[in-house]
Amino acid sequence: MFKIGIDLGGTKIEAIILDDSLKEILRKRINTEQEKGYEHILDNIASLYKECSKAINEAPHTFGIGTPGSVSAKTGMLKNSNTVCLNGKPFLHDLEKRIGRKVAIENDANCFAMAEALNGAGRGQPMVFGVIMGTGCGGGIVYNGQVIQGLQSIAGEWGHTTIDYQRGPKCYCGKHGCVETFISGGGVEKRYEELTGDKKSLHEIILLYRSGNENAGIIMHNFFEHFGVALSNVLAVIDPDIVVLGGGVSNIEELYTLGIEQVRKYHFNDELKTQIIKNQTGDSAGVIGAALIGI
């Protein structure tokens, strides 16, 4: 059966059609046009979906949507989406009404984990922990080809487990010392600014670190260590076969040497068997994952 997936982002809406062998047969992008409001976005998604369905002569297919933020599996209500006008709206219900069929929806981290588990670096592995380290820090667990959602749809959300609840930096979620405040791109930039009073992008901080700058060295050492602590906590709970890293921060090459060394240091076992590797689906993970979670 064909699989149609739509990745809904703050600026772009992307659609893909995969065939039985997960080969891409069509891909299309349009602008989200948030400023035109909720109904307009619904119309855009509906017409993009219909276009895809026409492209395969309305042959039987599944359909799934991926979006940042958290999605209640029960109500389809969105929270923390970067397409802000969708927050608190019965988005899933309204879309299903518009296109006359059921739609599956998952957050971007779960879509990433699915894309990597079935069509990327985690292919053939029973349990995949997919990590997105970008502006924020998310995660998703796929077991035997299925996303583990959990009772409250928060399974895999390691970014908001806290590793220093007393002295850690304040997180947007209200707690202190969440993993996200230490190892997301935004978190590293903030920690650097606190230490030096200087605003630098993650990329600039990395370059400074590689050139031997002392402050950047402190920040990056802390980054690797927090990564090790946070990931070893996850390993001790779910013990996945593989951890696949995604998002802009996953491009830091030292994560795969110094970062893994720190995971080994805190790991609750005498050897670290878990593979911790970079993703293969790159920028396409969201839309491929959306197609793979479809119903």
Binding site residues, Zn ion, CB under 5 A: 160, 171, 173, 178
CB of 240 to Zn ion, least distance (A): 22
247: left (phi over 0), alpha (psi -120 to 50) or beta: left
Q: Which two tokens stand for residue 160?
A: 């908001």
Taking the complex as a whole, how short is the minimal distance between the CB of residue 191 and Zn ion, in angstroms? 15
Indicate the residue among 237 and 295 with the shorter CB distance to Zn ion. Answer: 237
Only one residue has tokens 């039985």, namely 20
Q: Between 90 and 186, whose beta carbon lies closer to Zn ion?
A: 186
Tokens representing 278 are 């970079």
Q: Do the Cβ atoms of 138 and 132 come closer than 8 Å? A: yes
Smallest gap, in angstroms, from Cβ of residue 174 to Zn ion? Answer: 7
What's the min distance (Å) between Cβ of 223 and Zn ion? 17
Provide the minimum distance between the beta carbon of 180 and Zn ion in the complex, in angstroms, as a whole number. 6
Given the complex with Zn ion, which of 137 and 242 has the nearer CB atom? 137
- Show Cβ contacts of residue 117 under 8 Å, excluding neighbours closer than 6 positions: 123, 125, 128, 130, 142, 145, 244
Do 293 and 147 contact (CB within 8 A), yes or no? yes
For Zn ion, give the closer residue by CB, 160 or 267: 160
Q: DSSP secondary structure string, 158-197?
A: GGGSBS-TTTSPB-TTS-BSBHHHHHSHHHHHHHHHHHHS
3-state DSSP call for residue 243?
strand
Please report how close the Cβ of residue 148 comes to Zn ion at its closest, in angstroms.
20
User: Burial level of 17, CB count in 10 A (0-12/13-18/19+)?
Assistant: buried
Q: Which is nearer to Zn ion, 137 or 292 (CB)?
A: 137
**Residue 158 vs 209, nearer CB to Zn ion:** 158
